Amino acid sequence: MAYDIDPELAAALDAIPKGPNGAMLDFSDIPAFRAQTEAAGAQLPVLAPDPRVKIETLSVPREDATVLDVVMFHPGSIDQPRPSLLYFHAGGQVLGSAHDSASHSYAATMALRLDIVLAVVDYRLAPETRAPGAAEDGYLAFTYLTEHASEHGIDPDRIGLAGASGGGAPATATALMVRDRGDRRPRLLSLNYPMLDDRNETPSSHEIVDLGIYDRRENEYAWAAVLGDRTGAADVHPYSSPGRATDVAGLPDTFIAVAQYDVFRDENIDFAQRLIAAGVPVDLHLYAHAFHAWDMFAPNSALATTFERTWHDYLRRHLHG
């Protein structure tokens, strides 16, 4: 199909290096692509985080004696409890890490601007850990923060959940687990162009096939890594693919943003509609002329600036208000 992309975003898209498959991603061999990505990243300069933000790593024990790391970005003294946002990074559930130093400047700036404790979950990746492993990590991190909030300068009643792209799946599944298990209610659920549904049946999942950012092919590879031979099966649990949830009542206030030219567009809109029908307050934003993760690839564009202002205003109102 023809993509009528905003000129600033089109310039950014043209500048993104593409592989032999015509895309920036290649999930046909995930270990090899990880190694390639890490090698390329090591050659790039890393912007130092704002020195006013304290960065520390919490190591939370799992039941199997392994530990889950949560990287904390604290913008000030812990004497005054602040809201917190438990954040799940992007990467199709197969890439990325909370320890990625290239993302620490962004996280520190966000913590400072919003005056929150930003807690980034180093959730386990697929295919080494199949779903719902990443969501169980999210649940462990959330319940740990609520139980130990005072130790980290956090208000336990003002902890939100947020996920971007692939991180949207474990963030949403964590919200479902917290609801189902009767734990303290999250303040909000914030989802930026989230990966929610393994079935790939929507119109947008068939339309976005050759844009080169995150197309149907990459999504199919990613879900195959996350679910294995369960992908597309009738009995996949919502903790593994939260777009499958038929009961979404009781989830927290939710923010969803997605682009017009995004493979996730229709599953995101459908999820928002089901939340609204269930009585969940939803802020849904569809950005015309944009592609998946446009704010990351064209951060200085007008569309990225507009989105960030809207998103940050939402977070401030719901976390501090």
pLDDT tens per residue, range 304-314 = 999 999 999 99
What pLDDT, on a 0 to 100 scale, did the predictor assign at position 49? 96
What is the domain count for the chain?
1
Residue 2 domain flag: no
Is residue 140 over pLDDT 90? yes
Residue 92 domain flag: yes
- Using CB atoms within 10 Å of the CB of residue 66, give its burial: 0 to 12 exposed, 13 to 18 middle, 19+ buried: exposed
Distance CA 34, CA 202 (A): 29
Is residue 1 over pLDDT 90? no
Distance CA 97, CA 103 (A): 9
Q: What percent of the chain has pLDDT over 70?
A: 100
- For residue 297, the tally of other CB atoms under 10 A from its CB is 17
What pLDDT, on a 0 to 100 scale, did the predictor assign at position 248? 98
Is residue 43 over pLDDT 90? no
Q: What percent of the chain has pLDDT over 90?
A: 95
What pLDDT, on a 0 to 100 scale, did the predictor assign at position 78? 85
**How far is the CA of 249 from the CAs of 12, 114, 180, 252, 270, in angstroms?**
39, 28, 11, 9, 15
Q: Where are the alpha helices (H) located in the chain, listed in sequence order? A: 7-15, 30-42, 104-114, 133-147, 168-180, 203-207, 216-227, 265-277, 294-297, 302-320
Is residue 149 over pLDDT 90? yes
Q: Do residues 135 and 239 touch, judged by C-beta distance below 8 A? A: yes
At 289, which CATH number? 3.40.50.1820
What pLDDT, on a 0 to 100 scale, did the predictor assign at position 92? 98
Is residue 44 over pLDDT 90? no
What pLDDT, on a 0 to 100 scale, did the predictor assign at position 228? 98
| 156 band by pLDDT with thresholds 50, 70 and 90 | very high
Place of tokens 């006013």: 52
Distance CA 321, CA 316 (A): 7
What pLDDT, on a 0 to 100 scale, did the predictor assign at position 160? 99
Cα–Cα nearest to 119, from 94, 146, 92? 146
pTM of the entire predicted model: 0.98
What pLDDT, on a 0 to 100 scale, did the predictor assign at position 229? 97
- Residue 160's DSSP bridge partners are 85
Can you tell me the mean pLDDT for 257-281?
98
Distance CA 201, CA 195 (A): 13
Is residue 201 over pLDDT 90? yes
Is residue 42 over pLDDT 90? no
Q: Considering the chain, what is the average pLDDT of its residues?
A: 97
What pLDDT, on a 0 to 100 scale, did the predictor assign at position 251? 98
Residue 266 domain flag: yes
What pLDDT, on a 0 to 100 scale, did the predictor assign at position 79? 85
CA angle 32, 9, 106 (to 5 degrees): 65
Q: Which structural domain, as residue segments, surrounds residue 253? A: 7-320
- Residue 70's DSSP bridge partners are 58, 121
The encoded tokens of residue 149 equal: 């909030």
Residue 209 domain flag: yes
Residue 60 domain flag: yes
Is residue 214 over pLDDT 90? yes
Can you tell me the mean pLDDT for 165-185?
98
